[in-house]
Structure 1
Amino acid sequence: MLKIGSHVSFSDKGLITATKEAASYGSNTFMIYTGAPQNTRRKPIESMNIEEGKALMQEAGIDEIVVHAPYIINLGSYKSNTYQLAVDFLQQEIHRTHALGVTQIVLHPGAFTDKDAEYGVERIAEGLNEVLNGTHETDVHIALETMAGKGTEMGRSFEELARIMDKVTHNERLTVTMDTCHIHDAGYDIVNDLDGVLSEFDRLVGLNRIQVMHINDSKNPAGSRKDRHTPLGTGYIGFEAIKRFTQHEALKHLPFILETPWIGKDAKTQRPMYEVEIALLRGNVAERFGSAFVEDLDKLRAFFAKQDIKSRSFVLETWNLLKNDAKAKKADPREPVERLYDRVMEAELFTALSEEEINQRLIAWLAEEQV
């Protein structure tokens, strides 16, 4: 079965809460932070209910999870205090990851800020050498993430990742997290030439290095270097292209992690689309959501067909309008799913359903229309 899940929270109940949340989406893997990703405050790992959490994982059929390192770690910084904090804190996170029994910790490589890319490669490699030397007794691998290229962040090309790895002594403990939104925004044509992109990665880095996949759609065209995620099927990548990753012979054994944003008109009641996204990629929507859900999809197909709305073209035309026409965006800044939701509400198509339930059906309609 496809190994797929999402990023989940890691609260006071630790692994127990994280596992329950993941299981509620139908996940059989998930990704966590061992504390808040924006700061260094951490509770003792002993308080994270590891054994109880692992028992719940076993009940839910989850045998592999991933840890994500905090965003504040920047091994590319020229500032000695920032760099040393990154080294020390990443070592601590690796030990916490090891205590959880996890073997992959995802890391944004770093940013060179006021220096240049050559400095960034050298500095990040130096930091990775220090971190790996200080955690040699663990079996944790650092899964460097492919980045979109915004600002001065490194890892925006396969060449940069390869150059960093080549300068690390114990690089057998370096792996890669490939993010669909990031490599799309970095300029790789994963929509029309996935095999070509993967062949280039294999030539420069090695497909065997990929140990984690992040699957996200993108709010921006290829090469934009923006890094703004959107639910599957609602962006420039599209559901069909993302599904090809999960079915690719070289990748289908990997854990696939959703980081798609929560959606809804009210920020206080926004909800993730993880459950329906997972079911769509597994192909078990009817089994997961029931016959009434499938009947509602038939209603949506008929409703949008009468309005001559085609999923892929509607999404792309809406984003292109928002990107290229400032006046139009100012007059109507609604994104594709919100526009579709408003049409459904105006027609009173599903009066008994919540906003989340309607959005789930819209995500399913968008995905199914694109395959």
Structure 2
Amino acid sequence: MLIIGPHLSIAGGFTKAGQEAVKINANTFQFFTRNPRGGKAKALDPEDVAGLRQIMAAHQFGDLLAHAPYTLNMCSATPKTREFARMVFKEDLLRLEELPCELYNFHPGSHTGQGVEQGISWITQILNEEMWPEQKATVVLETMSGKGTEIGRSFEELKMIIDQVALKDKMGVCLDTCHVYSGGYDVVGNLEGVLEDFERIIGLNYLKCLHLNDSMMPFNSNKDRHQKIGLGTLGINAFKQIVIHPQLKDLPFFLETPQEVAQDYQKEIELLRSF
């Protein structure tokens, strides 16, 4: 069965988020580890976590995806910003040891004018100092659209990060359909070619999950504007080809489309399952 779910708030607890996922026919979900603009994470409630575990077991959930806050920028030119990123990253990984969540996604960040090589050096320094061999979670780099000084706009940049990380077995990639299309990878007209490039440059064994998002912006625009499935420049057929592709269909898919309430995701989930 397709493993698919939305981005859900955990403000009301993990058990409530799990119940919400079941109501809309999802069998996974993504959540922010804390406020997306940063701040202190809410203390974990063991009973709440146990409730989520029960729901996941009863409904055959796939892997959940924890998303780091947007303010996490490991490659900033500002030392204070990098140290905040280090603190959040380390704290989040420790919290995931207590949660039924195997994937931790973060945006590589913006090098803020230092250049890609220096930015990647800062990123990998933190990864190498804060990751440990026995950690449960796989750290997942998200593909980016390439706006401004973002790192992760190309498969080559993600490969540079992975190459410099000692614990490569704890690393992975999340392919965001909106971002890669805006970044110049034609998943609409040449999905096979994009996957061949990914395999050649990074290796498909590192692809751990996908963000399914249509885009408001044209191909190769380097702009990150998500749209509902089928209403943007990627179109319905592109998503059909993605979710039935033999190299992708068994990976978990996460929706980050602009919805007002969680129930609005249900139509998209049903559409994607129909393929």
TM range (shorter): over 0.9
What corresponds to 1:9 in structure 2? 9
Q: Does 1:189 align with 2:186?
A: yes
What corresponds to 2:19 in structure 1? 20
What corresponds to 2:50 in structure 1? 51
| One of 248, 253, 258 as aligned partner of 2:255 | 258
- Residues 2 and 273, structure 2, Cα contact 8 Å, conserved in 1: yes
Q: Does 1:142 align with 2:139?
A: yes
By percentage of residues, which structure has more helix? 1
What corresponds to 1:281 in structure 2? 272
CA deviations over 1:9-58 (Å, ceiling 9, x no partner): 1014x211111111121101111123212122112123671001211222
Count of residues in correspondence between the two structures = 275
Partners of 1:219 and 1:160 lie apart in 2 by 25
What corresponds to 2:208 in structure 1? 211
The letter for the 1-side match of 2:78 is K
Q: Which protein is bigger by CA-based radius of gyration? A: 1
**Ranges of 4+ aligned residues in structure 1 off by more than 2 Å:** 56-61, 270-273
- Residues 260 and 272, structure 1, Cα contact 8 Å, conserved in 2: no
Shift of 1:101: 2.5
| One of 142, 147, 151 as aligned partner of 2:148 | 151
Partners of 1:60 and 1:174 lie apart in 2 by 28
TM-score by length of 2: 0.95
- Residues 209 and 252, structure 2, Cα contact 8 Å, conserved in 1: yes
Shift of 1:64: 2.4
- Residues 147 and 179, structure 1, Cα contact 8 Å, conserved in 2: yes
- Percent identical: 39
Shift of 1:63: 4.1
Look up the SS of the partner of 1:45 in the other structure: coil
Partners of 1:186 and 1:127 lie apart in 2 by 26
- Residues 62 and 252, structure 2, Cα contact 8 Å, conserved in 1: no
The letter for the 2-side match of 1:111 is S
Structure 1 residues 48 and 257, CA gap change in structure 2 (3 angstroms)? farther
TM-score by length of 1: 0.71
| Greater relative CO, 1 or 2 (CA 8 Å, sep 6+) | 2
Look up the SS of the partner of 1:153 in the other structure: coil
Look up the SS of the partner of 2:104 in the other structure: strand
Partners of 1:90 and 1:127 lie apart in 2 by 9
Partners of 2:47 and 2:34 lie apart in 1 by 10
Residues 1-371 of structure 1 mapped to structure 2, 5 A cutoff: 1-12=1-12, 14-46=13-45, 49-132=48-131, 135-262=132-259, 273-283=264-274
Which sections of structure 1, spanning at least 5 residues, go unmatched?
A: 264-269, 285-371
The letter for the 1-side match of 2:98 is A
Look up the SS of the partner of 2:97 in the other structure: helix
Look up the SS of the partner of 1:142 in the other structure: strand
The letter for the 1-side match of 2:268 is E
- Residues 15 and 48, structure 1, Cα contact 8 Å, conserved in 2: no
Partners of 1:203 and 1:20 lie apart in 2 by 40
Look up the SS of the partner of 1:111 in the other structure: coil
Which sections of structure 2, spanning at least 5 residues, go unmatched?
A: none
The letter for the 2-side match of 1:225 is N
